[in-house]
Chain A
């Protein structure tokens, strides 16, 4: 193994937010699929008072609210956090855009190694994350438009704020179809993201995959942070 050291790279807040967002996406996928295609039913008969669909929809709406909140917090921290403003590592920054051809070559087996990636690999950071953000915005707009209710404590109505959205999609049913597609888009891109991180861990033995639970991973010694006399961390290279 090359000269590597184990460091704590992911703050526990980021690990928490990561799993919160993943949990919300999975829950939204399952409940969303149920709303599209109600494939089970709790209880039986006319006297059954358990409102399966009503509860599933309620969970869907609450989970969507949690997802919006946690994504907003993650977004804010990525830019303004005092402990790790990491947008350059997880988004389409110049650093990642420059590293993209090399990363693609690496994953297409055209080269054996690549430069050090601090967090996400450049394929995910420059392609999947922006795609997610675009689809996230679509999901929120179409979702609110279908929600068709008052929000912000009755101060406003979805039809006035997002009333234009169904027009963009050519009608409410098309908008509903697009909202439904998002399940598949998130499922596919999520699978690709997990897969890329697994093969990176398997190939480089750097504990990338494990780090999303523990926060710790192996990095080349020259990229490990050192602490200055003031105690503030300094990043070597990268």
Chain B
């Protein structure tokens, strides 16, 4: 195996990957072996559909291991339109050959146009046709980025092209590594898991590897102590922000987002969203563009049933409900009084209360 990193860094990478997979350090030799033998492992085809290439950009920023190490040594990347050396008929022939042989890992980036298939075409084929061809013989299908996993920004309301994630588009079983963009530190352990155990990892109900996405951002956030103590940023540019208080009141979606960002960090473990001072916007969650807007509000606005396009906050709905109830109760009370129901009954009189009879001492118990 030819790697630019030295042996020490390589073993450290294997140790980090073992931790990510929830394995003990004793697994490091197996992981190292799995990576070293990767050249004999299934080849990878990476195809892009409706996307911004941010996922590939993010992948290309991988530092440790470097993208070159991943592409040339850890995986056998047979087809990727942006970075492959081959071009034209040669590249297409390689693609056909790899698909024909089967047993490859299909990596998909970008959403699939289902409503208007012609909205996304490559070489005369729609994305729907291409993704079906690509996944038919794949040993595993890895969707990188929120677009491939769940439709992403293309599927945002009103979703004019009927964009969908791969699983929803063709019903294939996919391993989703979402994110806008996805973190290379999440992609690599997923691939290593496959290489190591020769099977796809256990997934959550949104198709994400459980070993990575089981916990929420909020569970591991470095500002969690501030959350628990009730110390919050209420305005950007304030003293509380300088003190790095919790961003809950600034709309942080960490409490609803399953992702290991606070542990894996970004940009070669330099930082991550909350550390940079911005709340999490929940980019690893399905349909986060629609679900989490407004990103700076604590709870999303919700549509009012029966009023298409009208959305309001949970607080507004709640307080309106209480006000309406109180108004109803008030009106009813006034009417009750006006009808004389609160007046003493004629037979009550002004005298002392009726003496308790024997029966009146009784009990139903």
Which A residues contact B (CB, under 8 angstroms)?
1-2, 4-9, 11, 36-38, 40-42, 46, 48-54, 56-57, 83-84, 107, 109, 148, 159, 163-164, 167, 170-174, 176-177, 180-181, 183-185, 187-188, 191-192, 195, 199, 202-203, 205, 221, 224-227, 233, 235
CA distance A210 to B342 in the complex (A): 16
Indicate if the CB atoms of A199 and B333 lie closer than 8 Å.
yes
Indicate if the CB atoms of B364 and A7 lie closer than 8 Å.
yes
Q: Which of B222-243 contact A (CB under 8 A)?
A: 227-232, 243
CA distance A37 to B251 in the complex (A): 11
Residues of chain B with a CB closer than 8 A to A48's CB: 229, 231
Indicate if the CB atoms of B228 and A171 lie closer than 8 Å.
no
Q: Which of B245-271 contact A (CB under 8 A)?
A: 248-249, 253, 255-256
Known: A7-B364, A42-B230, A191-B326. A172 touches B256 (CB 8 A): yes
Indicate if the CB atoms of A53 and B229 lie closer than 8 Å.
yes
Residues of chain A with a CB closer than 8 A to B321's CB: 184-185, 188
CA distance A41 to B342 in the complex (A): 44
Q: Which of B183-238 contact A (CB under 8 A)?
A: 204-205, 214, 216, 219, 227-232
CA distance A191 to B330 in the complex (A): 11
Residues of chain A with a CB closer than 8 A to B286's CB: 171
Q: How many A-B residue pairs have CB under 8 A?
A: 153
| Residue ID in chain B nearest A43 by CB atoms | B229
Indicate if the CB atoms of A192 and B362 lie closer than 8 Å.
no
Known: A173-B300, A195-B329. A1 touches B214 (CB 8 A): no
Residues of chain A with a CB closer than 8 A to B216's CB: 148
- B364 touches which one: A51, A188, A191, A233 (CB < 8 A)? A233
Residues of chain B with a CB closer than 8 A to A225's CB: 362-364
CA distance A53 to B325 in the complex (A): 30
CA distance A228 to B50 in the complex (A): 82
- A181 touches which one: B232, B291, B314 (CB < 8 A)? B314
Which B residues contact A (CB, under 8 angstroms)?
204-205, 214, 216, 219, 227-232, 243, 248-249, 253, 255-256, 282, 285-287, 291-292, 298-300, 302, 314-315, 317-319, 321-322, 325-326, 328-329, 332-333, 335-336, 339, 341-342, 344-345, 347-348, 354, 356-357, 359-365
Indicate if the CB atoms of A224 and B256 lie closer than 8 Å.
no
Indicate if the CB atoms of A51 and B256 lie closer than 8 Å.
no
Indicate if the CB atoms of A199 and B362 lie closer than 8 Å.
no
| Residue ID in chain A nearest B206 by CB atoms | A167
CA distance A142 to B232 in the complex (A): 25
Known: A7-B360, A177-B300. A159 touches B318 (CB 8 A): no
Known: A8-B362, A181-B314, A225-B362. A173 touches B325 (CB 8 A): no
Given contacts A180-B314, A192-B325, A202-B336, 11 further A-B contacts (CB under 8 A): A5-B356, A83-B365, A167-B205, A174-B291, A176-B255, A176-B299, A177-B299, A180-B318, A181-B318, A192-B329, A224-B360
CA distance A184 to B317 in the complex (A): 9
Identify which of A2, A48, A167, A172 gathers the most chain B CB atoms within 10 Å of its CB.
Answer: A172
Q: How far, in Å, is B283 (CB) from chain A's closest CB?
A: 14
CA distance A157 to B282 in the complex (A): 23
Indicate if the CB atoms of B285 and A53 lie closer than 8 Å.
no
Indicate if the CB atoms of A221 and B317 lie closer than 8 Å.
no
- A1 touches which one: B243, B253, B354, B362 (CB < 8 A)? B354
| Residue ID in chain A nearest B285 by CB atoms | A171
Indicate if the CB atoms of A5 and B359 lie closer than 8 Å.
yes
Indicate if the CB atoms of A54 and B325 lie closer than 8 Å.
no
Indicate if the CB atoms of B291 and A41 lie closer than 8 Å.
no
Indicate if the CB atoms of A5 and B299 lie closer than 8 Å.
no
CA distance A155 to B363 in the complex (A): 46
Q: How far, in Å, is A188 (CB) from chain B's closest CB?
A: 4
